[in-house]
Amino acid sequence: MTVCIASTNIKHNVLVFATDRMVTTAPLPIEFEHKIPKIAEVTKYCVGLVAGSALRGKGIFEAVQDQTGGKSLSIHKIAQTAKIVYQNQRLQIIEDIFLKSKGLSLQLYTEKGKDILPLSLHQQLDRQISTFNFQLEVIIAGIDEHGPHIYSIYNPGFIECYDSIGFHAVGTGALHILASLYNVYDPECIPAESIYCVLRAKRDAEIAPGVGQRTDLGIIDNTKKLKYFAENADLFKKFDELYRVEKEGRKTLTKASEFAKIAITDNSQQEKEAGCKEVANAEKTPEKGKPR
C-alpha cells in the first residue's frame, strides 16, 4: 500500500521522483507512516523506488549495488541487472515456500519433477509456482549520458521502459498519479514546473487507499547530482499553496513565468537549513541499499 512516481524532463535533462511513507504490515492489516523513506540510492545517479514489500525491495537494491560495483553504467544496464535479481529472488522464495518442505530444490524439480512426483502433486506445484506473486513493484530511474530514464519491474520479473511516455507510477495510488500527470505533463517545461507536477500528482493520489500524506521528493539534475527536499522546505510550502489555490478553483496551473521565479538549485545556507540535501556533497556515504 503505497505510491511511487518518477517523471523526466527531456529539455533540461532532469529526473523528478517522489514516494509516500505508508507501510502496511502483514498478516495484520496495520498501516502507519514510517520514518524511513522508500527511496534507495542504487548509484549516485540512479534511484530505486519500491511498492510492496520494503524488505524485498531493499534486498534487490543491495544486490544490484554489489553486482554493479560502483561502475558508471547506463540506466538500462542497471535496470536489467535489477530485473535478473528480482527474478532470482522470486525463484528463491518459491523454492523456500513450495519445494524445500518436500525435499526438492528448484533445479531438481525443473529437471526431474515429472518423473519423481505423482502427477497431481506436480500439477499442484506447477500451478503454485507459475502463479506465485512476489508482491513487489520496482521503479529504477536515473540519468546517464543519454538523458533521463524510467524503468519498472513487475511480477514475475517483467521489465518495461517508460521513456517514451516520460513518467510512471506504481502502488495503490498509481492510477490517480497517472490521471493527474496525463493532463499536465510537459517534457520541455522548466524544472520547477516538473517538480510541481509530480508533487501535485502525489497530492491527488492521497485519496487512494493506503497512500500516506508524508512525501519524499527529490531530483537528479543535469550534473547527475541527487537532491532531496524536506517537507518543511520553502519549495514544499510554495507548491502546496499553489496546489491548494488550484484545487479551490481560484487558479489554473501556474504559468511558466511564475515557476521561473522559484529557485530549486540555490546553494544558500537558508535552503540547506530548510532541508535540501545534496547527496553528492554529503560528508558520509550511506550504507549499501539503505533507504534515505
Q: Give 144's strand partners.
A: 147
Residue 266 lies in a domain: yes
The Cα 109–Cα 90 span in angstroms is: 16
Q: Which domain does 140 fall in, by range?
A: 3-74+134-281
Residue 155 lies in a domain: yes
Q: How many domains does the chain have?
A: 1
Query: Any residues with CB less than 8 A from the CB of 106 and at least 6 apart, and which?
Result: 91, 94, 95, 99
Phi then psi for residue 34, to 5 deg, are -80, 160
- What is the model's pLDDT at position 292? 47
Average pLDDT over residues 270-289: 44
Residue 274 lies in a domain: yes
**Residue the block writes with cell 510492496:** 52
Q: Which three cell numbers stand for residue 164?
A: 517514451
Number of residues that this document lists for the chain: 292
Residue 115 lies in a domain: no
Residue 85 lies in a domain: no
pTM of the shown model: 0.85
Other CB atoms within a 10 A radius of the CB of residue 287 amount to 8
Q: What is the CATH number of the domain that holds 59?
A: 3.60.20.10
Residue 157 lies in a domain: yes
pLDDT in tens, 53-80: 777 888 999 999 999 877 889 999 999 9
Residue 104 lies in a domain: no
Query: Any residues with CB less than 8 A from the CB of 201 and at least 6 apart, and which?
Result: 5, 169, 176, 177, 180, 181
| 3-class SS of residue 58 | helix
Residue 111 lies in a domain: no
The Cα 282–Cα 146 span in angstroms is: 26
pLDDT in tens, 115-164: 999 999 999 999 999 999 998 999 999 999 999 999 999 999 999 999 99
Count of H helices and E strands in the chain?
Answer: 9, 13
Q: Which three cell numbers stand for residue 56?
A: 524485498
Residue 291 has pLDDT above 90, yes or no: no
Residue 32 has pLDDT above 50, yes or no: yes
- What is the model's pLDDT at position 185? 93
